[in-house]
Amino acid sequence: MQSSGQKKSIAGTLLSLLGSGPKKAGPAAGPAPDGDVVQPAAGEGALENHLGGDEARNYRKYEFETVAPHVGRSMLEVGSGLGHFSEQFAGRLDYLVASDNDPYCVAELRKRHEGNDDVEVIDLALPADIKIRRKVDTVVMMNVLEHIKDDVQALRDLAAVTEPGGRIVIWVPGYMQLYGDFDRKVGHVTRYTPATLEASVREAGLVPEVLKPINFLGGIAWWFAVRRGGAGYPDPKLVKIYDRTVVPLTRTIERFVKPPFGQTVFCVARVPR
């Protein structure tokens, strides 16, 4: 059995790895307040810090290897940022739609894909009537749905531009117990559980084929850092340490054990034929 001192040591280590340092604890966090959610200005440096950048190479590989088996030959990526995730599918896709609703990101995406007729770049803020050249067989949303108040309508809009039998792949932050200052700062309306995400998916007329929490150890670390420790933003230097140690261990464990909860909820939803 662990002593009180050992437990404090473990908690402190997780907090140090993930957070920018403990702050005075405030009231329990809840859903984002009513009113329009304003996402922070992008800019290359700020955006890369938000996505992990070079500090989180293992995590980005984890994302890709989880999503890739569910991607077909044509893809709409919602919230592409600067395009680093979708570029990993280069050579595999016949048609890619990269999208964002930040003017800086849209401009950078257009520069990145200039002259490539197989790539379409659009300015997209969901819910919306999506205008693209043709339907896709896969939609990918990496940490996007949690920003949208009317998530059901957003999913319906995406289903409308997905081929019958196609997939919508959803990666969202998990569990309101982990909701804290970081979520508020980046404009998260909510964090999902498998049950709440399934409810939105089914209400949108989609059929969940894969639905599970992932990144169990990351969830524990996030709880200590954000809810118990009051960390407001991950420290890039310490994220790099976390990426090299905790992420590989998490991936190994989750190959053999289904986690009961996690930092993320992952869903693959099928569009009915």
Distances (CA, A) of 148 to 78, 145, 214: 12, 5, 21
All structural domains of the chain: 44-271 (3.40.50.150)
- List, as own/partner pairs, every contact residues 104-112 make where C-beta atoms lie below 8 angstroms and the sequence separation is at least 24, other chains included: 104/41, 104/42, 104/43, 104/44, 104/47, 105/42, 105/47, 105/80, 105/81, 108/44, 108/82, 108/83, 109/80, 109/82, 109/83, 112/82, 112/83, 112/87
Residue 5 has what pLDDT? 43
pLDDT digits (tens, 9 = 90+) for 253-270: 888 988 889 999 999 999
Query: Is 118 within 8 Å of 97 (Cβ atoms)?
Result: no
> CA 186, 191, 195: angle at the middle one, nearest 5?
160
Residue 55 has what pLDDT? 63
State the pTM of this model: 0.80
CA distance 110 to 82: 10
Low-confidence ranges of the chain (pLDDT < 50): 1-52
Residue 51 has what pLDDT? 44
